[in-house]
Structure 1
């Protein structure tokens, strides 16, 4: 299944675009359980500029491991960019765009939000919120803190601080 993000609505929500190489859209392949509703909510929050393919593999855990995501930092869904970067769990979509725009370390392979923090994108429950950390996954399997999301207000403001990467 391919989903093309609605540019008008999502541009207003996220004020970010994903830089495309040679005028091509960024592509994400999302691996998820077919019955997971929070994954669907996360998909809807992705910014303009993404073309998304959704797969429901029987070997989801193994596919995560094969992509460099250890059991300690796994969550419910995995997005893999067309250039091989991984985004595990409820990573704020604006940080996915940041990362793909080059805001990463030299040996980074992607971002993860381990578990399923209450109030993270896709896990919204009114005003309930559990602070969480977005980690960068390194090529050697280690992780480092990439961004602290300390409040629902901070998460909402995150999209406002991301500037457009279009020229």
Structure 2
């Protein structure tokens, strides 16, 4: 009886351990909570938040009329600004209509000396800026701590965003 008892409990323990290991591997490897600062009236920001949430991010939306101050606080240069600013729990900034898959890649890579990413302006066809089948190619810019920038990703078609 003791052998059967031990065998049964050993199997249960192994299955439990396997479940825990499998669950840990399924957990996201990136920081998935974003605080999104936006104007209370901005509809495209709402659409971008929907895009981000559909990709698995959790958002905390903060409606504010002090967006310029927020952007200055997070060291986003005027020429890199857009309509909304998202901030990860780690302090990375994501300015504008950046595709979720590019943000996920950035959070996995965490480039040295980077503060985040930007899609300046509001390119037609970018996530949240969809207008029928219109699309305007754009670049996702890597923002560095020293104020310099470089191209992080080129988005040449609507399909590349997803």
Provide the rounded CA distance (Å) in 2 between the counterparts of 1:129 and 1:143. Answer: 24
Deviations 1:118-157 (A, max 9, x none): 00000001111111000000001111000001122333xx
Would you identify which runs of 4 or more consecutive aligned residues in structure 1 move more than 2 Å?
none
Counterpart residue number, 2:152: 146
Given candidates 29, 32, 50, the residue that maps to 2:35 is 29
The alpha-carbon deviation at position 109 of structure 1 amounts to 0.8
Counterpart residue number, 1:114: 120
Structure 2 gap segments, 5+ residues each:
1-26
Counterpart residue number, 1:92: 99
Structure 1 gap segments, 5+ residues each:
1-16, 160-167
What value does the CA root-mean-square deviation take over the aligned residues?
1.5
The alpha-carbon deviation at position 18 of structure 1 amounts to 4.0
Structure of higher CA gyration radius: 2
Given candidates 118, 128, 133, the residue that maps to 1:127 is 133
Equivalent residues of 1:26, 1:51 under 8 A apart? yes
How is 1:48-127 mapped onto 2 (pairs within 5 angstroms)?
Answer: 48=56, 50-102=57-109, 104-127=110-133
Counterpart residue number, 1:19: 29
What is the TM-score normalised by the length of structure 2? 0.78
The alpha-carbon deviation at position 62 of structure 1 amounts to 1.0
Larger helix fraction of residues: 2
* Bigger relative contact order, structure 1 or 2 (CA pairs below 8 A, ≥6 apart): 1
Counterpart residue number, 2:6: none
What is the TM-score normalised by the length of structure 1? 0.76
Equivalent residues of 1:134, 1:147 under 8 A apart? yes
Instruction: Give the secondary structure class of the aligned counterpart of 1:123.
Output: coil
Instruction: Give the secondary structure class of the aligned counterpart of 2:70.
Output: helix
Provide the rounded CA distance (Å) in 1 between the counterparts of 2:106 and 2:28. Answer: 10
